Structure 1
Amino acid sequence: MPFQKTIKSEIALSGVGIHTGKRINIRLIPAQRDTGIIFYRTDKGLQIKAKLPFVIDTSFATTIGIDGVKVRTVEHLLATLYVFGITNLIIEIDGSEIPVMDGSAQDFVKLIMKTGIAKQGKTIPTLKITKPCIYEESRSRIVARPHKGFRITYKIFYEHPLILAQSLSIEINEQNFLKEIAPARTFGFLKDIQYLLQNGFARGGSLENALVLDEKGVVGGKLRFKDEFVRHKILDAIGDLSLLGYPVQGHFIIEKGGHTAHINFLKHLVESDCYELEEEPYFNFYLSVQTI
């Protein structure tokens, strides 16, 4: 079993929320073992655990919340924490959304690498997929299979000449994440902007923090990878899978997924007999989680 970890010193950063358009300040604060990942809304005086039962919305981002208080767009930061093995952290935030930074996880990676990671003297169980678990909804299909490591195979299709069908299968570890996944940016389509704005989304979106596509290609920028779109989907999936609350061992095959499909799959998984833990059963833990 891996050891629990936190960061060596505090990290402060600020930026714009891609959906709210508001300037937000956050602080990442080292936490004692067995704390977990906690978001603390300093403007509301309320804590929210980064756990599956606290997911309240999956529209264009993953949102966690309780008692009417929420934190949106948690997936990029959570993916970074997961890959570094950080299990205990207090995230103070003075607004309702994690800053989007440049649309990828690169800034979070750089800050955590700069401050360093502290191993704590207690282990954490690994959630191991023991037999295939299949989930299907609408056009999405997700399968988890036993695997000695943590691998994601992602397949997407968009009717756009720059995307069409893209797929990538990659072992998720620190080296691969830093090089192949963390730099991949969120993306959207110019034709959808009006709808998004009218419905309270993308108010902070710009060419500085997202890949925007018109009918032919990227508006005002260049791709970091030819298949940057599917790589970003993998980034999102890592962040969503981290909401299980444990390191994961398995191969996840995702076809035409998204935040809603990811979260619905996880709910299906924890109610199945397709996994095991080395300590207490996850299902009991899932039912008993509470806000600190």
Structure 2
Amino acid sequence: MKQTTIKKHVEVVGVGLHKGVPVKMSFDPLPPNSGIVFFRTDKNVRIELKPDNVVDTTMATVIGKDGVTISTIEHLLSAIYAYGIDNLLISVDNEEIPIMDGSSIAYCTLLDEAGIEYLDAKKKAIEIKKPIEVKDGDKFVRIEPSKRTVFDFKILFDHPSIQHQNYRFEFSTQAYKEEIARARTFGFLHEVNYLRSKGLARGGGLNNCIVLDENGILNKEGLRYQEEFVRHKILDAIGDMAILGMPLLGTYVSFAGSHRLNHLLTKQILAQNEAYELVELPDEEVSYEVEYAYAKEQ
């Protein structure tokens, strides 16, 4: 299977979730073995996507270099991973990725417009060889050996609209677009009000977030999926694991996982040489719609 990039330049303008300011974002092709690279055009700083460049995971996943940061990258990375894109230049003129509608479907649409270009270089994947787990009390994230890419997530909230939710997602690009991409981020009204008092969440609202008060959901249109909350957690996890820089062959399992735990998991994987193997995917022309594991088994 070959590495990929995009066929043409595309761009979009949106609003950052926390600062609430307009952000222009563009995608451009990159040659083989370049990886995913972010570029702050207003600071003239390039930031490679890798776990060592993650500088904060408090409210979102943030990467940085030389004091220059780009925040809320996880939704975008989730879509990039889902489309199997290995090499891409992402340029922004501010410190946040535009939040769009709070899911990743707008990024999928942008990537559809850009198109997929196959490159003359072999595609590699990280195949998990032994289980690795990171815990915080009863919360955990774990990666297990598997011939398929699977995300199995559970959450528990003491709220009538959420309570206990569990979703198991067997990865493919088409399944991602149907089952995961439209799941929006969510927050509680008291949290939103607190964040705004601290100068954050200025770009958040009912148009890009599921907002809950103590009784229910404030969004008039309701939910997009029955388990939209846990599906968004899977969307986030896919984006966070994309920071490994390659497709992942393994089963990700979590209860109440977070950006912080996901980041610690990526670092633990790379720190243990015996925990993974870099494998080349076959040279057969395989659509990016097909699961990585399926391509590997042919």
TM-score normalised over the length of structure 1? 0.93
Q: CA separation in 2, counterparts of 1:219 and 1:106?
A: 22
Offset at residue 138 of structure 1 (A): 2.8
SS in structure 2 at match of 1:270? helix
Q: CA separation in 2, counterparts of 1:206 and 1:141?
A: 29
The superposition leaves residues 72-93 of structure 1 with CA deviations (integer Å, 9 ceiling, x where unpaired) of 0001111111111111111111
Amino acid at match of 1:258: S
Q: CA separation in 1, counterparts of 2:81 and 2:279?
A: 19
Q: Indicate yes or no: 2:93 matched with 1:94.
A: yes
Offset at residue 19 of structure 1 (A): 1.0
Any residues of structure 2 matched to 1:206-285 within 5 Å, and which? 206-221=205-220, 222-272=222-272, 273-278=274-279
RMSD between superposed Cα atoms in Å = 1.2
Corresponding position of 1:17: 16
Q: CA separation in 1, counterparts of 2:200 and 2:215?
A: 23
Corresponding position of 1:75: 74
Offset at residue 41 of structure 1 (A): 0.4
Offset at residue 220 of structure 1 (A): 2.9
Q: CA separation in 2, counterparts of 1:141 and 1:60?
A: 18
Q: CA separation in 2, counterparts of 1:199 and 1:121?
A: 49
The superposition leaves residues 254-284 of structure 1 with CA deviations (integer Å, 9 ceiling, x where unpaired) of 11101111111211222122211137xxxxx
Q: CA separation in 2, counterparts of 1:250 and 1:107?
A: 27
Aligned residues: 278
Runs of 4+ in 1 over 6 A off after TM superposition: none
Q: CA separation in 1, counterparts of 2:104 and 2:11?
A: 16
Q: CA separation in 2, counterparts of 1:262 and 1:105?
A: 18
Offset at residue 55 of structure 1 (A): 0.3
Identity %: 41
Any residues of structure 2 matched to 1:159-170 within 5 Å, and which? 159-170=158-169
Q: CA separation in 2, counterparts of 1:94 and 1:37?
A: 17
Offset at residue 51 of structure 1 (A): 1.1
SS in structure 2 at match of 1:13? strand
Corresponding position of 2:6: 7
The superposition leaves residues 21-70 of structure 1 with CA deviations (integer Å, 9 ceiling, x where unpaired) of 11000110111111111111000000001111100001121000011100
Deviates more, 1:47-56 or 1:265-274: 265-274
Q: CA separation in 1, counterparts of 2:167 and 2:234?
A: 9
SS in structure 2 at match of 1:278? strand
Offset at residue 175 of structure 1 (A): 1.1
Q: CA separation in 2, counterparts of 1:201 and 1:118?
A: 38
Q: CA separation in 2, counterparts of 1:241 and 1:201?
A: 25
Offset at residue 112 of structure 1 (A): 1.1
Corresponding position of 1:134: 133
Q: CA separation in 2, counterparts of 1:177 and 1:112?
A: 14
Deviates more, 1:138-147 or 1:24-33: 138-147
Amino acid at match of 2:207: E
Offset at residue 142 of structure 1 (A): 1.6
Any unmatched runs of 5+ in structure 1? 280-292
Q: CA separation in 2, counterparts of 1:258 and 1:102?
A: 21
Q: CA separation in 2, counterparts of 1:201 and 1:176?
A: 33
Any unmatched runs of 5+ in structure 2? 281-298
Q: CA separation in 1, counterparts of 2:235 and 2:266?
A: 16
Amino acid at match of 2:2: F
User: Is the CA contact 2:10–2:113 (under 8 Å) kept in the aligned structure 1?
Assistant: no
Corresponding position of 1:50: 49
